Structure 1
Amino acid sequence: MREIVHIQAGQCGNQIGGKFWEVISDEHCIDATGTYYGDSDLQLERINVYYNEATGAKYVPRAILVDLEPGTMDSVRSGAFGQIFRPDNFVFGQSGAGNNWAKGHYTEGAELV
């Protein structure tokens, strides 16, 4: 069985990624707390493609969320499924690039990497 690591970067990537995890969680019968509520053996067998099993039969998305500023991360955390992510999978800086590619590439982004 394969395992997929989902990487979402920037404001757009994290906004789309947040919706992606809502849909995937619904398809895999995982609620906003990370609990599996389905009854399909096949579904449970394949749940490890996108999720790691944590303590207490909770499932955590195998995802890394990256941004130069904490604002988008705060939006993801406060969203419907924000609590299922591991806190250490959020990687962010303190100031954004202000839609300036050079600043994001050479200064803010370089420090984050």
Structure 2
Amino acid sequence: FWEIISEEHGIDPTGVYRGTSDLQLERISVYYNEASVATAENGGKYVPRAILLDLEPGTMDAVRSGAYGQLFRPDNFVFGQSGAGNNWAKGHYTEGAELVDAVLDVVRKECENCDCLQGFQLTHSLGGGTGSGMGTLLISKIREEYPDRIMNTYSVVPSPKVSDTVVEPYNAVLSIHQLVENTDETYCIDNEALYDICYRTLKVPNPTYGDLNHLVSLTMSGVTT
């Protein structure tokens, strides 16, 4: 998602503006904070207003070492050590509950930097333990603190044909109750449907998760255009 948004705004993987049109800087403050002002040699430096969260450190290391790893604020990587083991209750009540205050501190800092906070956007999966259990815990905590702001989620819903673990349906059912209570908009993303689009429409014979993520991020970018 951040690759696509950065490309639209002409921002390179280090956060420096390299665009060719002033239109690319219009409304850039919706998703980015300006970290340094433009000079004669360089465009300004922009940092995504994003918080990256997981209950295990491995995924954060993967993001940091990826092409766009330098784009994000180092303070906005929040992670635990134990993982949730595909268990909704671990994400919602034990491991997730221990980490959620640290996440809320980062959320508050980002909100204080906003001139006019419109709302929150969360991307998570409902099949595992962290995205479902801790994701919904975070939503309810943010809702308590900012009840009049939009809460918008992009939720990857498990499907029987594309399934990693046997407890995915339980995690999803427990999460959907929370989403109904606490969100204004939820975009349901189905991996099975994404695979179908890749096979039938895009004619990609062996789609990777990268292909699926690209499809989802195009949708997210379209929603916010």
Task: Report the TM-score when normalising by structure 2.
Answer: 0.40
Name the amino acid aligned to 1:52. N
- Structure 2: any 5+ residue segments left out of the alignment? 38-43, 101-225
Give 1:29-108 correspondences, 5 Å limit: 29-55=10-36, 57-108=44-95
Distance 1:27 1:45 in 2: 11
Residues 35-67 of structure 1, C-alpha deviation per residue, up to 9 Å, x if partnerless?
A: 111122222132111111103621100101111
Distance 1:86 1:47 in 2: 17
Q: Give the total of aligned pairs.
A: 94
Cross-structure match for 2:6: 25
User: Percent of aligned pairs with the same residue?
Assistant: 84
Task: Report the TM-score when normalising by structure 1.
Answer: 0.77
Relative contact order, CA 8 A, sep 6+: which one is greater?
1
Cross-structure match for 1:13: none
Runs of 4+ in structure 1 over 2 Å off:
none
In the alignment, which of 68, 81, 99 is matched to residue 112 of structure 1? 99
Q: Which has the larger radius of gyration?
A: 2
Secondary structure class of the residue paired with 1:53: strand
Name the amino acid aligned to 1:70. P
Name the amino acid aligned to 1:99. N
